[in-house]
Structure 1
Amino acid sequence: MSLNTSKIKTLWRLIKQSLKGEEHDYTQGNVKVAILLLSIPMILELSLESVFAVVDIYFVGHLPNADVAVATVGLTEAVISLVYTLGIGLSTGATAIVARRVGEKEVDEASKSGAQAITISLLIAIVVACLGVYFASDILSLMGAKPEVIAEGTSFAQIIFSSSPAIILLFLINGIFRGAGDAAMAMRSLWLASIINIILCPVLIYGVGPFPELGLVGAAIATAIGRTTGVVYQCYHLFAKNRVIKIYRSYFKPNFEIIKSLLGIATPAMFQFFIQSGSWIVLTYIVSVTGSTDASAGYQIAIRNVVFFILPAWGLSNAAATLVGQNLGAKQPKRAEQSVLLTTKYNIIFMSIVTLLFVCFSEFIISLYTSDAEILAYGSQALRIIGFGYVFYGIGMVMIQSLNGAGDTKTPTWINIFTFWVIQIPLAWLLAVHLAMGPVGSFIAIPAAETVLALLAFYFFKKGKWKTIQV
């Protein structure tokens, strides 16, 4: 048997192992194998998460009032990203604590931490859902939506906001699974949710068979049902099956020590992602007020594709976060650092390929979603400009997630404040408004800010303070 054949067989065996979700000790053995076993299901998981927005944009983009429908989905998704922020922040805290406990071989404590995180998340999600449903039209108005978008999109926004518990729990519980190294379980829940959304979207939007034609509202209902089903599937495996993390009813009894530790990590993480999401909302607003509805629609299509192609890199970054947490728990900081540097190398390679795709094929990619000439022009321009910074996005993501995985969520928060609110927003406003560049000014500000973020994150990672954080 040749050496290449042997390597291919080994790779295929590892891929199958990663998809099956077989238990593995990530604090021992080959670091490359550990990265592969974690990153493959994480990449598939997060790629499928992005499918929700891409599928919605694709199908509503073929409705008669495509510009209004796409702008509505885009503006709502921009605001609902604040809900994602809560879910991601809580998930970050849960991942860090669960990974640390698993690395210490304290699996029961890891499970108790997961139960406390679910309780806190559910309470927050219910409050967010109520506020979002009540203020849906006001939120769209604040985003600079045109009157026709508000009239058409309020019901869509209300349904999406009402599904906030499913959104937050989907993120949170997958964070628990990832922290335990059970990335395959997180992947499967997103597969199920995404497949249901893909099936229901055209059925409910266009009215297939016995189903009524619901248009834009149908897209919202399909998304809500898909996410809710994913959460039910997660809970079944969390409570009824024997996996790394197994939660019992008694674990939900309030444990203020765990809650304090969880919120100590999750609160800065929520603020961290809130800062980032808030800056994207402001950018969306700047594009909306300096351009037309076509400009907003084109930008939103471009951003959905940016998210779609960046999430595999985020999957690699989440693998690094899990490896950092578990190896710090096992008192192996050198192995944790080695995992991060190797993951960064792989992310740079992947992001370089995506950069070439965006720069060379931006018009083709956007044309898959719309045939409108104005929307196509704005969308392809946005995709091309944003794509130039992709390599730096990859570096920054791994470094930030590694700091988060160590429980050092405060440093990334300060990096985000400086990068997004001192650089990105002022630069976008300067270029778009004062220099009259319009939406293009906002597009340019994105890779500029992300480059600074990558450099700062790498600097603080190399300083090594994260190795001393206690969780």
Structure 2
Amino acid sequence: MSEQNTASMGKLSRIFALIKQSLKGEELDFTQGSIRRAVILLAIPMMLEMAMESVFALVDLYFVGHLHNSSHAIQTVGLTESVLTIIYSLAIGMSMAATAVVARRIGEKDPIAASKAGMQAIVVAVIFNMVISIAGFIYAKEILLLMGASAETAEHGTTFMQIMMGGSTIIVLLFLINGIFRGAGNAAIAMKSLWIANIANIILCPVLINGLGPIPAFGLTGAAMATSIGRGLGVCYQVYHLISGKSLLKVKLAYFSPHWEQIKALLKIATPGIFQFVIASCSWIFLAKLVATTGGDHGSAGYQTALRLMMFFMLPAWGMSNAAATLVGQNLGAKHLERAEQSVMKTIKYVAIYMATVMAITFLLSRYFIAFFSNDPLIQEVATKALHIMSIGYILYGIGMVLMSTFNGAGDTWTPTWVNFFGFWLFQIPLAYLLAKFLDMGPTGVFIAIPVAETAIAAASYLLFKRGKWKTIKV
């Protein structure tokens, strides 16, 4: 019995040591050693990073959900987040390219080339986003109306939208610099930057929304202010670690001078990556508008509440799938093709276990989660139905995310772009429209279309993964 206890204590000690190492923040060589250990070391901080990212929307949703006229506030936050996904698309597309190139160079044992690639990605992303940011600030109200918001909701939410769009460069930098660190294998820095951003947001949200002492109550606008300040602090933490000289990635001013061949190589990967997420984002925007037009303000608010909760549960799985991207990139750089594929299959196993657990929790506790964010019974009813239907496909959502990250980590960004195009625009949108409008199912039809389409996307991705074209991509 004592031997069993000793063995159990030893195993527990090794697990805690592994968790501690994953959270410490250091660049490691993931091209050798245990694949399971490599997945865990990358996945834990990446899961926590994505969990922190999802907390932003939930914190805003919680505080604005308890404001007067909460349906307008919730709808504004949800619709603004839907529009911001286009910004996220730019950020994620460039982040994807940076992760792929940086990971490949790290796998080739060339950290200087990795640093140069990362800095060039920052220059390109900031220039492109400034144009979108300015346009979004000027036409904030028109965008909300275009999204299906009522005139009253658009009036209430214009300033919120302007702050979020105006500060979107911060969002781009937060995603992109984290992608650079992930490519280098230092996922803990990315995680900690979002911890800082979230702690600031959680503290500032109630203060700026409800007021405190000499600080006035800004209401809905306060949520945007808190989020922008929080993200800004996260970026400051990232920049500090880039310029401190302690990281494997060394930053020099000369690396920011445009290098057209490097920019061309990054854009070759990033452009389809951006399209990939724009395709998905525009699909979600269409679905949000379809729910708003068929279900009214309460239907829209219920759907947005369910969507935020779903993303909260799914983003850690996305974080885990990012581990596959780093492992694939570094191992392809080191010419370890078989190890790259084994890393993907091991990650799929862990993601499937996580998503199965989350699905069970969602079915058992969804009403309690939703009640926490809104006390409106009409919103609660729609949100509960939406969450139950959408969560049916959780396991396949997770598997699909890992496979998409595999292609992206290898630099094969065109494959998932085409999968998204067919899966979302030629299947999900027509199916949702058919069910919601022609079969008169309203928002329920939209909810059903989501897991059906995601299942088809996961199946197509697996078939393409087994074909192995991703192993031959040069970056």
Common fold, TM-score beyond 0.5?
yes
Residue of structure 1 equivalent to 2:163: 159
Which string of whole-angstrom CA distances, capped at 9 and with x for unpartnered residues, describes residues 295-321 of structure 1? 111111100011100011001100000
Deviation of the 1:119 alpha carbon = 0.4
Query: Higher mean Cα deviation, 123-132 or 331-340?
Result: 123-132
Instruction: Tell me, yes or no, if structure 1 residue 316 matches structure 2 residue 313.
Output: no
Deviation of the 1:466 alpha carbon = 0.5
Residue of structure 2 equivalent to 1:410: 414
Whole-angstrom CA distance in 2 between matches of 1:44 and 1:51: 10
Pick aligned residue for 1:459 from 453, 456, 463 = 463
Q: 1:152 is paired with a residue of what secondary structure? A: helix
Pick aligned residue for 1:195 from 196, 199, 212 = 199
Whole-angstrom CA distance in 1 between matches of 2:455 and 2:390: 11
Residue of structure 2 equivalent to 1:328: 332
Instruction: Tell me, yes or no, if structure 1 residue 386 matches structure 2 residue 390.
Output: yes
Pick aligned residue for 1:357 from 361, 371, 387 = 361
Instruction: Tell me, yes or no, if structure 1 residue 31 matches structure 2 residue 35.
Output: yes
Which string of whole-angstrom CA distances, capped at 9 and with x for unpartnered residues, describes residues 101-157 of structure 1? 000000000000011001001111211110100111110011010011011000100
Whole-angstrom CA distance in 1 between matches of 2:15 and 2:362: 29
Pick aligned residue for 2:180 from 168, 176, 200 = 176
* Count of matched residue positions in the alignment of Structure 1 and Structure 2: 471
Whole-angstrom CA distance in 1 between matches of 2:139 and 2:79: 14
Which string of whole-angstrom CA distances, capped at 9 and with x for unpartnered residues, describes residues 61-89 of structure 1? 00011111101111111111110111011
Q: Structure 2: which amino acid aligns with 1:454?
A: A
Deviation of the 1:4 alpha carbon = 2.0
Deviation of the 1:241 alpha carbon = 3.3
Deviation of the 1:208 alpha carbon = 1.5
Q: 1:408 is paired with a residue of what secondary structure? A: coil
Pick aligned residue for 2:132 from 128, 133, 155 = 128
Which string of whole-angstrom CA distances, capped at 9 and with x for unpartnered residues, describes residues 402-444 of structure 1? 1100000000000000000111100000000010000000000
Which string of whole-angstrom CA distances, capped at 9 and with x for unpartnered residues, describes residues 314-366 of structure 1? 01100000000000000001000000000000111110111112222221211
**Is the 1:355–1:388 Cα contact (8 Å) retained in structure 2?**
yes
CA RMSD of aligned residues (A): 0.8
**Is the 1:133–1:158 Cα contact (8 Å) retained in structure 2?**
yes
Residue of structure 1 equivalent to 2:230: 226
Deviation of the 1:210 alpha carbon = 2.1
Deviation of the 1:451 alpha carbon = 0.1
Instruction: Tell me, yes or no, if structure 1 residue 86 matches structure 2 residue 90.
Output: yes
- Runs of 4+ displaced beyond 3 Å: none
Which string of whole-angstrom CA distances, capped at 9 and with x for unpartnered residues, describes residues 239-286 of structure 1? 123102121111112111111110000000000000000000000000
Residue of structure 2 equivalent to 1:15: 19
Whole-angstrom CA distance in 2 between matches of 1:279 and 1:446: 10
**Is the 1:362–1:381 Cα contact (8 Å) retained in structure 2?**
no
**Is the 2:27–2:184 Cα contact (8 Å) retained in structure 1?**
no
**Is the 1:182–1:244 Cα contact (8 Å) retained in structure 2?**
no
Whole-angstrom CA distance in 2 between matches of 1:21 and 1:214: 37
Residue of structure 2 equivalent to 1:213: 217
Whole-angstrom CA distance in 2 between matches of 1:153 and 1:19: 38
Instruction: Tell me, yes or no, if structure 1 residue 141 matches structure 2 residue 182.
Output: no
Deviation of the 1:231 alpha carbon = 0.9
- The 5 Å alignment of 1:248-259 reads 248-259=252-263
Whole-angstrom CA distance in 2 between matches of 1:340 and 1:5: 30
Residue of structure 2 equivalent to 1:43: 47
Whole-angstrom CA distance in 1 between matches of 2:8 and 2:26: 25
Whole-angstrom CA distance in 2 between matches of 1:17 and 1:361: 33
Name stretches of at least 5 consecutive residues in structure 2 with no aligned partner: none
Deviation of the 1:209 alpha carbon = 2.2
**Is the 1:93–1:266 Cα contact (8 Å) retained in structure 2?**
yes
Q: Structure 2: which amino acid aligns with 1:4?
A: S
Name stretches of at least 5 consecutive residues in structure 1 with no aligned partner: none
Q: Structure 2: which amino acid aligns with 1:119?
A: V
Q: Structure 1: which amino acid aligns with 2:427?
A: I
Q: 1:388 is paired with a residue of what secondary structure? A: helix
Whole-angstrom CA distance in 2 between matches of 1:388 and 1:413: 24
Whole-angstrom CA distance in 1 between matches of 2:454 and 2:90: 22
Whole-angstrom CA distance in 1 between matches of 2:31 and 2:460: 28
**Is the 1:328–1:467 Cα contact (8 Å) retained in structure 2?**
yes
> Percent of aligned positions with the same letter in both sequences?
56
Residue of structure 2 equivalent to 1:289: 293
Pick aligned residue for 1:305 from 309, 316, 321 = 309
Instruction: Tell me, yes or no, if structure 1 residue 66 matches structure 2 residue 70.
Output: yes
Whole-angstrom CA distance in 1 between matches of 2:244 and 2:213: 36
Whole-angstrom CA distance in 2 between matches of 1:261 and 1:377: 49
Q: Normalized against structure 1, the TM-score is what? A: 0.99
Residue of structure 2 equivalent to 1:376: 380
Which string of whole-angstrom CA distances, capped at 9 and with x for unpartnered residues, describes residues 183-238 of structure 1? 00000111101110110000000001221100000000001111111111111111
Q: Structure 1: which amino acid aligns with 2:223?
A: A
Query: Higher mean Cα deviation, 381-390 or 15-24?
Result: 15-24
Whole-angstrom CA distance in 2 between matches of 1:64 and 1:432: 30
